[in-house]
Amino acid sequence: MRTPSTPQKLVRITTVPMALRYLLPGQMDFMQQQGYDVLMISADGKELPEVLAEEKCRHIVVPMTRKITPLQDLKCLWQLVKIFRKEKPDIVHSHTPKAGLLGMLAAFIARTPTRIHTVAGLPLMVETGFKHRLLKAIEKLTYSAATQVWPNSPSLYQYIMKEQLTRPSKLKLIGSGSTNGINTERFDPAKMQPHIMQQVKESINYQPELSYFLCMGRLVKDKGIVELINAFTALSLNQNNSRLILVGDFEDGLDPLPRHTKISIKNNPAILHVKWTNEVEYYMQLAHSFVFPSHREGFPNVLLQAGAMKLPIICSNIVGNKDIVKNNETGFVFDVANEKQMQDLMLRSLQERGTMMEMAAQLRQKVNAEFQRSFIWKNIHDQYVFLSAQPQPVYSITLQVRKAWQLVAHILTPQWDMWQAPLPMEQLEKRSL
């Protein structure tokens, strides 16, 4: 039994350690410094040693996958239930879709009082047909098992409301958005180390007379890489002093790029591919514009980072992006997947350098004022304290059977009217005595 002198136990769970490393750096260590007993959970991965060294918190490996793997998912669900029953956490806070589904269901079964899922982008937004129905049903089930759902941007909050994925009373936006904020001490143009800058310049054979466009992230179709390569290829026919730097890794197992796109990246001397690196701010310092053509996001940290580095931005008009970049005010915005608009704005950014820098300066002020990492962390901590002080309902375990049946029914019969409303888990709650 928890006593007043016993620290509250907090579980942070993501599907893979890459999310702990790059989406939430420093946050677990901060919460531990605030007195929480923090346990991290994810699959194994190359980023795990760095996570353990930086966060200084316990970690348990649960072999979750980012794909749809029903048998493996059931095994992981059972493993999570056993972990939660043993650890008896006060709060389980999940990120990423698979960890959200399994983490929230397991925490519900284990009767964890506070169950929070942060939504940082929805794959269903770019899907159609059966897969769209499946992903939408999974999101509803995840949110139904949670006590709180935290969209990480205002436009994502509105999308969830519009699609009726959960009750409005469960939704909470932290500050102006963002999952982790950014380290404005790191992303500061005045604080670049000369020896690292020189190494980065040498790695791309940097030439100051050239103009560099920069794109960072996973090199997959979902990130708009196909359209970017096409737009830049067309642009460079008449702008032969332009270069495109792609920083990120291919993901052939999940969302592979078409063969012709990969060939263009490999064979076009004006396209420079750099594998993922921790020196992202140095590439931002060298670039003239940041191009971000993603098809879906939650609240992209990379735009906040570019903003803090006073790097002009050209991005797609999607959920998350439009919460950060206002067209012709703090950057240029184009319709998603519109190659011609993207190409025109890239050309315009070369021709109107003064305008681009003015907009970048405005965005830097906004980022430094609203998205400091310490501010976001304090807001999250304050919510933990508030939620832990509230009486929490504990739900009947038998309800999971009903939810599973409704999930199958929805997938097979999408016209079923009851699925136009959130899952009614809360109507069947049983409060503990």
Reported as a single tens digit per residue, the pLDDT across 67-107 is 889 999 999 999 999 999 999 999 999 999 999 999 999 99
Rounded mean pLDDT of the chain? 90
Domains of the chain, earliest start first: 9-181+374-430 (3.40.50.2000), 189-370 (3.40.50.2000)
Give mean pLDDT, residues 229-250.
96
Give mean pLDDT, residues 180-196.
95
pLDDT at 22 over 60: yes
Type of residue numbered 84: F
pTM of the model: 0.85
β-strand partners of 250: 219
Q: What is the pLDDT of residues 329-341, one digit of tens each?
A: 999 999 999 999 9
Name which of 312, 343, 336, 338 is nearest 325 in CA terms. Answer: 312
Return d(Cα 400, Cα 241) in angstroms, integer.
Answer: 60
